[in-house]
Structure 1
Amino acid sequence: MKVALLGTGFGRAHAALYHRSPRVDEVVVFGRTPEKLARIAADHGFATTTDLDSVYADPDVDLVDVCLPVPLHAAHAVRAMEAGKHVLCELPLAADLDEARRVAEVREATGRQAFVDMFARFDPATEHLLAAVADGRHGELRTLEFETRAALLWPGATIGLDVMALEVLHSDLDVIVAALGAPRSVTAAGVDAGDGRSAAEVLLDYPGRLVRCLGSSLNPVAFGMSGGFRASFTGATLVRSFSGAPGHGMTGTLTEYTAQGVRTVDLPGRDTYAAVIDHVLDCLEGRADNRISPASVLDGLKVTLDVHHALTGGFTGSRRAAR
């Protein structure tokens, strides 16, 4: 297995995962900044290049991992498949729904495998929630609330309203759509601090249910990150919470509240980012069916883009996006 990794930003996290995988034989990293490439080469011993054309021309490359800026995602996913490569694309798949649909169409036309890094789908707590909604073990779902609160944890990072939906809310919105289907409409409200920080709240219209999603970057670095979900059924409430701070890692729990009492749900420990890479390799080796294909993310991406357009309409307030 030879992987071509495009990008030296978030691509550094993927590089560490490939370095630890015994199933990846060779990695070449593309970037435009020699200093960043040199650091990756020193950390992992990977080959590097500033020549993008050479990556696509290399017949030994099996998988192209796209960790470039969001506006470039779809174009490089298409180029990779048309060059005969499989592709893993960092989320979101695209900032335009037509471009995302084009990726799904090219996957069908070329027969190549394509994956979108929807890591939240591999969180054991998320899997537990989706199973509970699907099989009705706790009765009917009545409320579902997701929250992600963070600081600007990386040098130079910004999370204003221009990227809040696509870079923070997208994973949670994808889970909501996976659980409940597309909402009838979305209503979004946001506030931008003007210094690269913001907060937004989204209400999603589902008959007989109250569903909301919140994201915030209005916190100092010491705050780290926290969040989770609360799902209230007619017979139980599930509460997922996680938190972490720089240098201290992440911790999380899933608690079930019923008429019989309270219990902590025993879930397997899992690095969701590593789980995505393992799933991609399993699929390429014929060991699994693709759970994160481009076609599977379109409905969630449509909702995310509705929210994005509502939050970036030149106002601080709320807007309803009809579907």
Structure 2
Amino acid sequence: MASDLSIGILGAGGIAERAMVEPSRDVDGVRVDAIGARDPARARAFAERLDLPKHGDYETILADPDIDLVYLALPPITHAEWAVRALQAGKHVLCEKPLSVNGTTAAAIADAAAETGRRAFVGFHYRLHGFTQRLLEVIASGALGDVDRVDIDFSIPHFVVKPGNIRLDGDLGGGAVMDVGCYAVDLIRAAWGEPVVESAAAVLYDDDPRIDLQTDAVLRLGSGAPARVRASFIGNDQGAMSLRVTGSAADLVATSVIVPQWGATLRVTAGDDVLVDENAADGENSYARQLEHVAAVLADGSPSILDAARGVGTMRVVDDIYRVAGLEPR
């Protein structure tokens, strides 16, 4: 691998700019060199607007011998195909979350990485932000005592996900659990280990009943405590990205968990006593931290919390939520 990590993007949507091109400019040792789209003209326009040196269709990017890592900014239904093809072409892969549409296709990505000797990652960028690391540190510290209950509400305001959005398309692997619920599952697994899905109920989209506009689920932690999760596209005007943990010794409330740079707060109280009252650091960007992390583990070969092999477990829990809610896994 060259001294700089050369990145090619598949998919010319807005997330490619926000999650990869913009943060790459603030990270030493990485550069975005190429953009690929189904429509080469769209890739060219993207490249010209953002001053990227190379553009073309997907195959052009995979065939480029100078590209070290491919970032998939594509609908989840396509991740397995293009991740496997990129790995077989000798590229490392970073998939925009979720890793894939279900546990089976997610496992296909992890298996291909193992077979090719390349690395595959899932883009749970929030995990690399200092705020999230502090949040998990507090949870692990024992300061809360025994966990009695966990409440996670990841709700997008009702006016954001509109008709025509790919998140409302069953053919593309849409749905609220797929979009924001996967974050909740990842967070639960990071903090408390593997949960079991106990119950789930979904509000369905009239125009495509395969799509959950909102799902409420209860996941049982290994300790026996319930974790109540809401994933929603029909939240109120403010929406929510909140985590609440009720413990025997103290209670925790965290906000803006999915995107800590949007003003995340962490507060731990024991009765009238405030044990922790902290805000996310100004100017820290989770996508930049993700890029730094991926470059570092590729350089030294160390394990990653974003490794696809770990991400398979998250998709298997997502599958279980859909099954218990009476829906087919994606």
Give the percent of matched residue pairs that are identical in Structure 1 and Structure 2.
26
User: 2:226 is aligned with what amino acid?
Assistant: L
Contact 1:88 1:114 in 2 (8 A): yes
- Give the alignment partner of residue 160 of structure 2, picking from 153, 160, 179: 153
- CA offset at residue 273 of structure 1? 1.9
User: 1:180 is aligned with what amino acid?
Assistant: W
Q: Does 1:203 align with 2:218?
A: yes
CA distance in 2, matches of 1:51, 1:304: 31
Q: Does 1:194 align with 2:209?
A: no
CA distance in 2, matches of 1:134, 1:307: 26
The aligned residue for residue 277 of structure 2 is 264
- Deviations 1:6-50 (CA, angstroms, capped at 9, x unpaired): 001222322222344342345110012356434422332013533
The aligned residue for residue 95 of structure 2 is 89
- CA offset at residue 210 of structure 1? 2.2
1:1-323 matches, within 5 Å, as 1-9=5-13, 10-13=15-18, 14-34=20-40, 36-151=42-157, 152-153=159-160, 156-157=164-165, 159-160=167-168, 162-192=174-204, 194=206, 198-206=213-221, 207-219=223-235, 223=237, 225-242=239-256, 250-259=262-271, 261-262=273-274, 263-265=276-278, 267-269=280-282, 270-286=284-300, 289-311=303-325, 313=327
Give me the TM-score of the superposition, normalised by structure 2: 0.82
- CA offset at residue 310 of structure 1? 3.9
Contact 1:29 1:48 in 2 (8 A): yes
User: 1:178 is aligned with what amino acid?
Assistant: A
Secondary structure of the residue aligned to 2:67 is: coil
CA distance in 1, matches of 2:31, 2:231: 38
CA distance in 2, matches of 1:140, 1:200: 27
Contact 1:12 1:40 in 2 (8 A): no
Give me the TM-score of the superposition, normalised by structure 1: 0.84
Contact 1:153 1:224 in 2 (8 A): no
- CA offset at residue 77 of structure 1? 1.5
Matched positions, count:
309
Secondary structure of the residue aligned to 2:121 is: strand
CA distance in 2, matches of 1:22, 1:88: 18
Secondary structure of the residue aligned to 1:218 is: strand
User: 1:12 is aligned with what amino acid?
Assistant: E
